[in-house]
Chains A and B, each alone.
Chain A
Amino acid sequence: MKVLVINAGSSSIKYQLLKTKTKEVLAKGIVERIGLDDAFIKHAKDDGESVVIPSVVADHKDAIALVIKTLISKEHGVIKSMKEIEAVGHRVVHGGEKFKSSAIITPEVKMTIRNCFSLAPLHNPPNLIGIEACEEAVPNVPQVAVFDTAFHQSMPPKAYMYALPYEVYEEYKVRRYGFHGTSHGYVAKRAAEILGKPYNALKIITCHLGNGSSIAAIKDGHCVDTSMGLTPLAGVCMGTRCGDIDPAIVTFIMEKEGLDAKGIDNLMNKKSGVLGFSGVSSDFRDLEEASAKGNNRAELALQMFEYQCRKYIGSYIAAMGGVDAVVFTAGIGENQERTRRNIIEGLEFLDIKIDPEKNKVRGKEMIISPDNCKAAVMVVPTNEELAIALETQILVSFKTKGEK
């Protein structure tokens, strides 16, 4: 099945056209600066060379039309007609408590996505605009919403509830949702495949460590806990986000620095993390470089990140009563040898170890623990677009079968 995957932001739309059977990416790209005078599309065919085409793109509907036009264009296209697009899969950040899995888009589904606007005010509204633009542009093609939060909906209440007044949960649905769910689910299932063991008989800890980082505990095929919370700010420290802090610090700093709610949110989300701490960069590669040159704060920022990840792994092992596999994925998880080594160091007492030679791997599927260990440590590159395409294909095939 050829699936168009759409990730719509407020002024941009990322897309990929994939063939699910072969897992090929036929084309990918991004429409940027939607609604502005200097809008453009950056498009790459499977041969990998990208072209930039300035275009008039007044709104998201124009943007989707432009994507389709480019996909079928003689020069840059990869398909002959838009009829070849068999389904569209949309990344939707927040599915609230309603969506425990992906969903074929219906008027009710759109309403529910809208009901989650207040939980993800920056993401859900443009996601919905992207959906509606596609409905108009390709009205007969089935659309599927794949939620960042859905995978984590299997968490038990003791893991997702906060010890706040209960009314805050009833009234505003304040609870832990977790994010990166599509990625956690994808790499956990891949890990089980690679190990040749049934996914629903394993205790897996997935570490999605990128510019945003989250860790999840997956027991017998169900997510039982994850480090992000109501929002993606919580958990381990990240590129620019502070992660878990004493909540009293929020008001302490507001008063000391004379900040309002927007100001402190901006500080915690954009000016904190390893960037705010080191003053060097939000990019872990830059930090390693700075640390190698003797920058103490860069070194400490890396140590804090590693230490916090290790503590989460320990806590999730306790939560599940053991662990069979620890999986590293995303930019840092797939590529940073040092970070993986330091996270796992000290877990030898649980028979969790890393083979230094195998740990040199970058961006490839690999078991990096020694052969005789009880728990496997693995690198499994994530692929959210492919995961969205596969989810979309499953739902659409199921629906088509049902209709036949």
Chain B
Amino acid sequence: MKVLIINAGSSSLKYQFLRTMSKDVLAKGAVERIGLDDAFIKHTKDDGKPVVIPSVITNHKQAIELVIKVLTDKEHGVIKSMKEIEAVGHRVVHGGEKFSSSALITPEVKVAIKACYALAPLHNPPNMVGIEACAEAMPKVPQIAVFDTAFHQTMPAKAFMYALPYELYEEYKVRRYGFHGTSHGYVARRAAEILGKPFNSLKIITCHLGNGSSIAAIDNGKCVDTSMGLTPLAGVCMGTRCGDIDPAIVTFLMGKEGLDTKGIDNLMNKKSGVLGLTGLSSDFRDVEAAAEAGNTKAELALQMFEYQCKKYIGSYAASMGGVDVVVFTAGIGENTPRVRKGIVDELEFLGLKLDHDRNQVKGKDAIISTDDSKSVIMVVPTNEEMAIAMETERICMTC
């Protein structure tokens, strides 16, 4: 099946066109600066050379039409007609409690996505605009919503509830949702495949460590806990996000620095994490280079990240009563041997023994634990677009 994947932001629209059977990416790109005078599309065919075409794009519908035009274009295109697009898969950030899996988009599904606007005010509205633009541009093609939160909906109440007044859950649905669900689910299943073991018989801890990082505990094929919370701010520290902190610090800093709620949210989301600690960069490659050059704050930032990840692994092993597989994925998880070592070193009592030579791998499927390690440590590159495409195909088949 040929599937178009859409990830719509407020002024941009990323796309990939994939063939699910062969797992080929036929083309990919982004429409940027939608609604502005200098809007453009950056498009890449499978041969890998991107072209940038300035265009008049006043809204998301025009952006989608432009994507289709480029995909069917003689020079830059990869298909003869838009009829070859068999389905569209949309990344939707927040599915609330309503969606525990991907869904064929119907009027009811759209209402439910709108009901989650308050939970993801920056993401769900543009996601919806993308969906509606596609529905207009390709009225006969099935549209599928694939939610970042859906995979985590299997968590038990003791893991997703906060010890806040119960009315806050009833009234505003304040609870743990978790994010990166498509990625956690994808790499966990891939890990089981690679090991040749049934997904639903394993205790897996997936570490999606990128600019945003989250860790999930997957017991017998079901997510039972994850480090992000109501929002993607919680969990381990990240590029620019503080992760878990004493919640009293929020009001302490508001008082000391004279910040309002927007100001402190901005501080915690954009000015914290390893960037805020080091004053250098949110990119772990820069931080690692600085640490190697003797920058003590950079070294501390890396140690904090590693230590916090290590503690999550320990806590999830405790919550599942053991662990069979630890999976590293995403930018940092796939490419940073030092961080992986810092996280799983000295976890031998959990059955995790790292092979230091194998741990040098970057960006490839690999088992990086020793042969005599009781549990397996792996690198499994994530591929959210491919995961969305597979989900889209799966839903189309069942509908």
Interface residues of A (CB under 8 A from B): 157-159, 161-166, 168, 171-172, 174, 176, 225, 228-231, 233-234, 237-238, 241-256, 261, 264-265, 267-269, 271-274, 276-279, 297, 300-301, 303-307, 310-319, 321-322, 346-350
- Least CB distance from A284 to B in Å reads 13
Q: Tell which of B171, B225, B277 has the most Cβ of chain A within 10 Å.
A: B277
* A215 CA / B93 CA spacing, docked (Å): 35
Q: Is there contact, CB below 8 Å, between B297 and A321? A: no
Q: Is there contact, CB below 8 Å, between B163 and A251? A: no
Given the contacts A163-B272, A248-B268, A318 and B350 also touching, CB distance less than 8 Å: yes
Q: Is there contact, CB below 8 Å, between B248 and A231? A: yes
What is the interface residue range for chain B against chain A?
Answer: 35 or more
B residues 291-348 touching A (CB-CB < 8 Å): 297, 300-301, 303-307, 310-322, 346-348
B residues 257-273 touching A (CB-CB < 8 Å): 261, 264-265, 267-269, 271-273
Interface residues of B (CB under 8 A from A): 157-159, 161-166, 168, 171-172, 174, 176, 225, 228-231, 233-234, 237-238, 241-256, 261, 264-265, 267-269, 271-274, 276-279, 297, 300-301, 303-307, 310-322, 346-350
- Least CB distance from B27 to A in Å reads 36
* A347 CA / B254 CA spacing, docked (Å): 40
* A144 CA / B310 CA spacing, docked (Å): 39
- Least CB distance from A366 to B in Å reads 23
* A90 CA / B336 CA spacing, docked (Å): 50
* A164 CA / B264 CA spacing, docked (Å): 11
- Least CB distance from A314 to B in Å reads 2
CB neighbours (8 Å) of A228 from chain B are 246
- Least CB distance from B82 to A in Å reads 41
CB neighbours (8 Å) of A229 from chain B are 245-246, 248-249
Given the contacts A158-B307, A264-B251, A317-B349, A307 and B231 also touching, CB distance less than 8 Å: no
- Least CB distance from A281 to B in Å reads 14
What 4 pairs between A and B have smallest CB-CB spacing? Answer: A314-B318, A318-B314, A229-B246, A246-B229
Q: Is there contact, CB below 8 Å, between A233 and B261? A: no
Total contacts A to B, CB within 8 angstroms?
246
Q: Is there contact, CB below 8 Å, between B316 and A164? A: no
Q: Tell which of A231, A297, A313 has the most Cβ of chain B within 10 Å.
A: A231
- Least CB distance from A402 to B in Å reads 37
Q: Is there contact, CB below 8 Å, between A246 and B163? A: no
Q: Is there contact, CB below 8 Å, between A346 and B319? A: yes
Partner of B252, one of A230, A244, A348, A349: A230
Partner of A252, one of B174, B278, B313: B174
Name 20 A/B residue pairs within 8 A (Cβ), A-sorted: A158-B304, A159-B307, A161-B277, A163-B304, A174-B249, A225-B311, A229-B245, A245-B162, A246-B162, A246-B228, A246-B230, A247-B249, A251-B261, A254-B261, A272-B163, A273-B163, A301-B163, A304-B157, A310-B319, A317-B314
